[in-house]
Amino acid sequence: MTDQGFGAVRPLPGNGLVAHVGGLLLVCDAAEAVAEDLLGAVRETAASGGDGRALARRVAQVLASMMGEPVACAVAGPVPEGVAVLVSGPASASVTGAGGEVRLAGRDALTWSDRLVPGPVTRVELRLPEAGAAQRLARLDSGVVVGGGVECDPSEAGEAPWSAQRPAAASPAPSESSARPVPSARPVPSSHPAPPAHPEPSAHQAQPAPEFSVPAAPEPAAGAAVPGPPPVPDWGAPLDPGPAPMERSGPPVETAPPGPPPYPLGPADPYTAPPMEPQAPAPAGWHSEPMPQIPPQGPPSGPGPVMAGHEDIETARANGMGGDPVDFRHESFEYELLTPGGPSQTAPEMPVQPEPESRPLVYGVDCKNDHFNDPRVPYCAVCGIALVQRTLVPYKGPRPPLGVLLLDDGMTLRLDTDYLLGRDPERAPEVADGSVRPAKVTSPDGSVSRRHLRVALDGWDVNLVDLGSVNGTQIQPPNDPNFYDIPPNEPVTVAPGTTVRIGVSRTMRYESHRNG
């Protein structure tokens, strides 16, 4: 980092706001009311002579006061040791410092991500998802303009640096830190479905000015919108200009236009209960009809039998059996004594290990720390280190869990095998034959079918298959306010961050470090 700040600062086309004030950089979504506050944070920091650290702190305060979805925003500023950067929402950042390239995506965090990248910093890029490619002569020496991002090279004083039109794509750079970065049009690791290179008529996307419409770098055709994972034929070959990070979030949106939710007339599946079947009081004995669930939202207390305070008891009572306190108390009950010498004591059986099954083998690559990864992703799903793909030779290895399904009641299912979700999944044939795990999901309104949804893992992808449920399944892709019906009996690949509505009132989210 030099004293003159970020050197040559090039704005990228787009519809957000780009600010370069007092040596500090901000890129944010202009549509958000918070943009003014963010600009204010930058101006205040600049006015008080603050550095990148102070800027990140101020911006974090602004973001922390926001409700709702994280705002798309990225800031960067110099600090004595290098550059401080913070990203939130669908924005992303890439900073090349002493230790190589560091990429940050706001989507990776529930709040925001920040990082201090040690210098000397040779490149800083902040992007909104729809940012275009930089025009080499464009400069934003200071001020606030409309744009989709910013890219800069602190080592450049400000004069036109590129000797020729973007040299990067063809020749793999000798070393990540010294090389001029790959052009910014490389898709950022965000799950935004429409990369800028497709000028898709999108309501909010202004037509970029002609001089900006340079073809946005070789489109990584290989990975784009592949419904199933390609068998990764040749990952050993040098990949230019970088891997295609998860572009697989597109298809569901395309295939499922906003349909009239939420009561499609599903095919009458004999296994499926009539819609909105009332919650019958469970008959006594062995029966797995919907039954009272203990709601999970008890006080987060340490596990174990303990002496509880008075308020704990009250809370426990209040949470006890939800609104339907005692209907099971009139049922008959059964028990089995466990005490030694009890009448029904039999020889102990060996405990079953319900755990799977050998893990399927998939092609992947190891990061520096030996974490096995999807070869399509740019950085390690476990430790976040950049995967410099051309040096990695993929091999077949056991697939790690692909993340978790987080249900609205807190249940968390590890995605290491297929699941069958429904009101009564245990009796489904595919569960009985052991090919999928059952996960019981009930809802008070009876809108979850007995066999409702299959979560099918395919290579590194997570697919949803609605099993012809009565009330259907809807998905809300990340960064999209709308829910879309998915067609029955067709696998739909979902990206991390996707919210899934099962029937009418239950939801879950696919969460993963991977692919996101």
Partner 1 sequence: MEGIADYKFVRSLGEGNHGEFHLARKPERLPVDAEFVAVKVLGGTGADAFRRATRELKAFAAVRSPYLVTLYDAGQQGGVFYYSMEYLPAGSLGRPAEPPSRERALRAVACAAHAAQALHEEGIVHRDITPGNVLLTETGGKLSDLGLSQVLTPGATVTGMGALGSVEFTDPAVLQGDRPTPASDVWSLGATLHWAASGGTGLYGELPVHDPLLTLRKINSTAPEVRGELAPELAELVRACTGDAGKRPTARGVADRIHALL
- Of residues 379-408, those binding partner 1 (CB under 8 A): 382-384, 400-401, 404, 406-407
The nearest distance, CB 417 to partner 1, in angstroms, is 7
The nearest distance, CB 406 to partner 1, in angstroms, is 7
The nearest distance, CB 296 to partner 1, in angstroms, is 5
Q: Can you tell me which of 68, 257, 323, 410 binds partner 1, judged by CB under 8 A?
A: 410
Is residue 433 near partner 1 by the rule CB under 8 A? no
Around 266, how many Cα atoms within 13 Å sit in the side-chain half-sphere? 30
Is residue 434 near partner 1 by the rule CB under 8 A? no
Q: How many residues does the chain have?
A: 516
- Answer for the pair 6, 152: CB distance below 8 angstroms, yes or no: yes
* Number of residues located near partner 1, criterion CB under 8 A: 87
* Other C-beta atoms lying within 10 Å of the C-beta of residue 457: 18
From 240-248, 434-442, 470-478, 489-497, give the range in contact with partner 1 by CB under 8 A: 434-442
Around 106, how many Cα atoms within 13 Å sit in the side-chain half-sphere? 28
Place of tokens 């998802």: 129
Q: Can you tell me which of 94, 442, 469, 493 binds partner 1, judged by CB under 8 A?
A: 442
- Report helix, strand or coil for 34: helix
- Report helix, strand or coil for 227: coil
Beta pairing class for 419-422 and 437-440: parallel
Buried/exposed code over 471-509 (b: 16+ C-beta within 10 A; e: otherwise): bbbbbbbbbbeebbbbbbeebbbbbbbbbbbbbbebbbb
Sheet with strand 419-422: strands edge to edge? 437-440, 419-422, 453-458, 461-466, 492-494
Is residue 175 near partner 1 by the rule CB under 8 A? no
C-alpha 314/C-alpha 319 separation (Å) is: 8
Strand partners of residue 82: 79, 118
Tell me whether residue 174 or residue 341 sits nearer to partner 1 (CB atom): 341
Tell me whether residue 269 or residue 289 sits nearer to partner 1 (CB atom): 289
Q: Can you tell me which of 230, 430, 440, 507 binds partner 1, judged by CB under 8 A?
A: 440
- Answer for the pair 248, 225: CB distance below 8 angstroms, yes or no: yes
Is residue 306 near partner 1 by the rule CB under 8 A? yes
Tell me whether residue 70 or residue 148 sits nearer to partner 1 (CB atom): 70
Q: Can you tell me which of 80, 174, 260, 305 binds partner 1, judged by CB under 8 A?
A: 305
Q: Interaction with partner 1 in 83-142: which residues (CB under 8 A)?
A: 109-110
Q: Can you tell me which of 175, 203, 286, 481 binds partner 1, judged by CB under 8 A?
A: 286
Is residue 298 near partner 1 by the rule CB under 8 A? yes
The nearest distance, CB 52 to partner 1, in angstroms, is 22
The nearest distance, CB 36 to partner 1, in angstroms, is 29
The nearest distance, CB 339 to partner 1, in angstroms, is 5
From 126-134, 197-205, 409-417, 483-491, give the range in contact with partner 1 by CB under 8 A: 409-417
Q: List the alpha helices (DSSP H) in 205-246.
A: none
The nearest distance, CB 419 to partner 1, in angstroms, is 7
Distances (CA, A) of 401 to 296, 390, 472: 24, 25, 27
The nearest distance, CB 68 to partner 1, in angstroms, is 16
Q: Interaction with partner 1 in 329-388: which residues (CB under 8 A)?
A: 329, 331-342, 345-346, 348-355, 359, 382-384
Is residue 311 near partner 1 by the rule CB under 8 A? no
Sheet with strand 473-476: strands edge to edge? 404-407, 506-511, 499-502, 473-476, 484-485
Is residue 155 near partner 1 by the rule CB under 8 A? no
The 411-430 site mask, x for binding partner 1 (CB under 8 A), equals: xxxx-xx-x----xxx----
Distances (CA, A) of 464 to 220, 270, 493: 25, 21, 6
Q: Can you tell me which of 176, 269, 312, 445 binds partner 1, judged by CB under 8 A?
A: 312
* Single-letter amino acid, residue 228: G
Tell me whether residue 206 or residue 294 sits nearer to partner 1 (CB atom): 294
Tell me whether residue 143 or residue 322 sits nearer to partner 1 (CB atom): 322
**Residue 433: DSSP 8-state:** T
Distances (CA, A) of 178 to 109, 135, 476: 29, 22, 41
Is residue 291 near partner 1 by the rule CB under 8 A? yes
From 182-190, 316-324, 468-476, 499-507, give the range in contact with partner 1 by CB under 8 A: 316-324
- Containing 26, the helix (H) or strand (E) segment is strand 24-28
Tell me whether residue 109 or residue 222 sits nearer to partner 1 (CB atom): 109
